[in-house]
Structures are given as C-alpha cells and as structure tokens.
Amino acid sequence: MTLDLPFIFLVLMALAILAYVVLDGFDLGVGILLPFAGRGDHDIMVASIGPFWDANETWLVMGVGILLVAFPLAHGIILSALYIPVALMLTALVVRGVAYELRTKAAGWHKELWNWLFSLGSLGMALAQGFMLARVITGFAHGGWQWAFGLLVALGLTGGYALLGATWLVIKMENELRRRALRWSRAAVMLTAIGVAAISLATPFASARIMDKWFSIPQILWLSPLPVLTAAALAGIWVFVARLQRGLSSREWVPFVLTVWVFVLSFLGLGYSLYPYLVVDTMTFREAAASDASLLFVFIGAVIVLPFIIGYTMFSYRVFWGKAKALSYGE
C-alpha cells in the first residue's frame, strides 16, 4: 500500500488550522469583548480562557509547522509574501501573551494598562489573520480593490471571533455577565452574517478562477448546500440566543456549537475554492511537497502522538469544565 503523503498532510494542515481558528478564536474573541465589560468583570472573563489559551495557540505553531514540514517550497513563498501582516500578528501575539500574565501580577493602573493591551493584542491578531486570509485568497495580488477586500475579511473574521468569544462566555458566565454575553452574541451574529455574506459575494470578484469554480455547472449544484447551511446555522444562533434570553431553553452550548459549525462550513468553502493550490494559481500542494521519506518520518510520529494530544486536551477541558471560577494557583 502506498500512502498519498502530500494529500494526507494537506488534510492534517487543514485540520490543524481549523482547530486553531475555532480554539484560539474563542479566546481571542473573549479578549476582543473585554472592553465592553465592566472593570470588575475582566478577571472572571479572562479566567474562562486562562487554562486553554496557551494550548490553543499551539495549534497555530502546528499549522505553520506542517506548512513548513510538508510544503517547504510554499512555506517560504507564503511567509515572505505575508511578511508585514505576519510581523504585526506576531507582535500582537507577544503583547497579548505577556499581558495575560502581567495583568494578574501587576496592581493598580498597571493592571488596567495590561488589560487594555490584552484586548488590543487580541484584536490585532484577529485583524492580521483576516487580512492574511484575504491575501492568500487573492494570490497576493496588489491593488486598491485587493486592499479593500483585505479590510473586509479582516473585519469579518474579527466579527466571527467575537461571536465565538460571546457564545463561549454564554456557556462559562453566570447571572448578569451571562445576560451581557447573550446581548454580545446577538450583535456579533449580525456582524458575522454581514461579514460572511460580503466575503462570499466579494470572493469571486477577487479571483476569476474562484468565480469559475463556483458558478460553473455542475459544481454549483453540489456547492449550493454550503451557503444554505451556513445561513441556517447563523439564523439558528440568532433564534437560540433569543430563546436563552427569554429563558425558554437551558441548552447554553447550542449557540457556541452552531458558531463552530459556521466556521467549519466557511472553512470547507474556502478549502474547495483554493484546492489544490497553496499559492493561488502558482503552486499546488504537490509541487510544494517535501520528500516522501521526511513526510513518512513525521507521519509515523503524528499517528502515534496525535491521539495522546487529543486525549489530554479533552482531559484538560474536562478538568476546567463548567462555569468559570476565579483562577488561583491554589494557595
């Protein structure tokens, strides 16, 4: 039996990126929402992501790591082309990570400063990632229209992260904060819906190849469920948030799960649009792939280790299950 290793690694990379977007998405979202809450609520909101953000961020390293390991030729091209947004994202990431720690260790106005930097870092990461996504979709083309598209996707993804964060807080918060999280969810779902619609409309105009891929027959037929399902999920979030607000339901996890589902569907659409390219119209994943010997070596390791990673990740979510409590080192 021969393994199609480049394809396997393409799937693995896609899964790692999806895992990153969903997992770090909710903790970035909580960071983005922080300024909308009262000062007294900051600690408990951050406590809801405290045990997870570090491991969540590791999926980003995993995603870029697979790009590096499996597709070294594309890795250099993509990261060089995204040089400035990557630098911005990393600066935001560093500031955010350090602010997370310092906000619990500093006191007085220092603490406020680090809270503020934590939010700013979260927002910066979301915007930079959205912008990078737009650059990848358009194949790094330059021009005024491309910049506008970049801005649009940056705002859209930020809205999506805010929705993930808000619906996460619905699960994790109680009383007044939970009510607030529900209100944020309503606002964020509107923004996300506008973002998804606008990006979907703009994408075919940003790339002629994608236009062709979407609107030719018969592709359009079996692609059509995607926007329908996405719209249904967004509407479902809206409806469920309203039911939770009125106390008609107690299934608090539904809006979050539906939001994840929106991300999965969008990601599928994106994957379909870009496949088989890593650098649009220039380099396919097969052209970029590393040697089979190297891929096999990593594949064996991944098959052995990944179940453990998934296992102890689930263990960690179980340990910190339920409504968030203030984090303490246990003194």
Residue 82's nearest CA partner among 157, 134, 158, 28 is 134
Q: b vs e for 207-217, b when ≥16 Cβ sit within 10 Å of the residue's Cβ?
A: beebeebbeee
> x/- binding map, residues 23-42, to other proteins, per CB under 8 A?
-----------------x--
**Beta-bridge partner residues of 283:** 279
Number of residues in contact with other proteins, rule: CB under 8 A? 74
The residues, any chain, with a CB within 8 Å of residue 222's CB and separated by 6 or more, are none
Q: Which stretch binds other proteins (CB under 8 A): 150-158, 232-240, 258-266, 321-329?
A: 321-329
Phi-psi sector, 289: left (phi>0), alpha (psi -120 to 50), beta: beta
**297 counts as binding other proteins under rule CB under 8 A:** yes
> x/- binding map, residues 100-139, to other proteins, per CB under 8 A?
xxx-xxxx---x----------------------------
- Binding to other proteins (CB under 8 A): which residues in 173-192? none
Q: How far apart are CA 120 and CA 291, in angstroms?
A: 41
Nearer to other proteins, 61 or 228 (CB): 61
Nearer to other proteins, 93 or 244 (CB): 93
Q: What do you get for the CA distance between the two ends of the chain, in Å?
A: 56
**237 counts as binding other proteins under rule CB under 8 A:** no
State phi, psi for 277 to the nearest 5 degrees.
-85, 145
- Binding to other proteins (CB under 8 A): which residues in 49-88? 50-52, 54-55, 57-58, 60-62, 64-70, 72-73, 75-80, 82-84, 86-88
- Binding to other proteins (CB under 8 A): which residues in 261-290? 290
**319 counts as binding other proteins under rule CB under 8 A:** yes
Residue pair 64/16 in contact (Cβ under 8 Å)? The answer is no
Minimum CB separation of residue 228 from other proteins in Å reads: 36
**151 counts as binding other proteins under rule CB under 8 A:** no
Residue pair 94/2 in contact (Cβ under 8 Å)? The answer is no
Nearer to other proteins, 47 or 262 (CB): 47
